[in-house]
Amino acid sequence: MTGPVSDVAEIFGSLPGGLPAVWLPSDAATGVLVGATSTGHIEVAARGVVLPVEPDTPATLITDPAQRAQALTDAFAGTRRIYLWHLGQQRRSQNAAASARTARERLAADVRELLDDLVHTGHIERHQIPGFLNDALHTTDGDPTPYGSRDRDIADAYRRYRAYFPSGTRALLHLCNEEGIAVAYLDRQAIEAERGGPLTDRQWHDLRSHLDAYGSGVSAGMTNAEFLDHVFHDARIPRHPAETTPDRSP
């Protein structure tokens, strides 16, 4: 059932916001009027696309509910397919993220179990875990290790666990948080703020190798400033931007 022949502008003007379904004699097809452009054209959704047409394009309003429903289905079929594809992609991403979290937590449990064994047997103290993990992360098959195969088991599990995080710091903080271990660490931004000026990439590269002792320094009662005094001196980098390179002679 359709109304009298009119044009798209008149029909859209009489039903603003109502998504009127129309029969377009010139195209021998149905469409849905979805909007108007600043140039006066009427936007018609048909066959999964939206196109502007002249306002005087002949059209007949579809009033039958079943025909209108079919016209809406035809007009937005492509959009629906895109929506369903996107929904499927979203669900697959969510499932992949859930699987990754499960795998990550399983690896974290393996690392915690191995670490607990070392702690309970008295080989390391709990506060030494961050430093131990840092060493384990850099262990290779040819390196001697104090605790034999357990070191390598921890290193292997921790490397795989680390791969689930954007940085080693995030991985370490997450694991230590689960273990209830407070971790002290310094990153480039914090050091530059304390120093009062930026580091060059070369300076940061030279400085990083001296930061591994931070945990032991803090445990020994050093303040950040005292620890950094030693680090900058050992790396032969000016402690503050205006200073010259420190003299390392006795």
Same domain flag for 41 and 100: no
Element (H, E) at 30: strand 29-36
Element (H, E) at 33: strand 29-36
- Token pair 């030279």 is at which residue? 206
Residue-by-residue DSSP string for 3-25? EEEEEHHHHHHHSTTS--EEEET
What is the C-alpha separation between 195 and 198, in angstroms, rounded? Answer: 8
Tell me which residue range forms the domain holding 49.
Answer: 2-75
- Indicate whether 117 belongs to any domain: yes
- Indicate whether 52 belongs to any domain: yes
pLDDT of residue 187: 74
- With a CB cutoff of 8 Å and minimum separation 6, the contacts of 172 are 130, 133, 134, 183, 185
Q: Cα dihedral sign for 106, 107, 113, 119? A: negative
- What are the beta bridge partners of residue 31? 22
Residue 245 contacts residue 237 (beta carbons within 8 Å): yes
Residue 249 contacts residue 236 (beta carbons within 8 Å): no
- Indicate whether 249 belongs to any domain: no
Which amino acid, 138? H
pLDDT of residue 85: 66
Total domain count, the chain: 3
The tens place of each residue's pLDDT in the chain, 250 residues long, gives: 455 678 888 988 887 667 889 998 888 888 889 888 888 899 888 877 788 899 999 999 998 888 888 888 888 776 666 656 666 777 888 888 888 888 888 888 888 887 787 778 777 777 677 767 766 666 555 554 555 566 677 778 878 888 887 776 677 777 777 767 666 666 787 788 888 889 998 998 888 878 877 766 666 767 778 888 988 999 999 988 876 555 544 4
pLDDT of residue 119: 79
Question: End of a domain among 75, 104, 122?
Answer: 75
Same domain flag for 172 and 141: yes
Same domain flag for 57 and 103: no
- Dihedral class, residue 13 (left if φ above 0, else alpha if ψ from -120 to 50, else beta): alpha
Same domain flag for 6 and 38: yes
Residue 194 contacts residue 228 (beta carbons within 8 Å): yes
Residue 45 contacts residue 71 (beta carbons within 8 Å): no
Same domain flag for 192 and 217: yes
Same domain flag for 145 and 166: yes
Q: Which of 30, 133, 137, 134 is nearest to 75 (CA)?
A: 30
Long-range contacts of 9-13 (CB under 8 A, 24+ apart): 9/36, 9/40, 9/42, 9/55, 9/56, 11/59, 11/61, 12/36, 12/42
What is the C-alpha separation between 33 and 35, in angstroms, rounded? Answer: 6
Q: Is 61 helix (H, G, I), strand (E, B) or coil?
A: strand
- With a CB cutoff of 8 Å and minimum separation 6, the contacts of 21 are 30, 31, 32, 61, 62, 67, 68, 71, 72, 75
Same domain flag for 127 and 91: yes
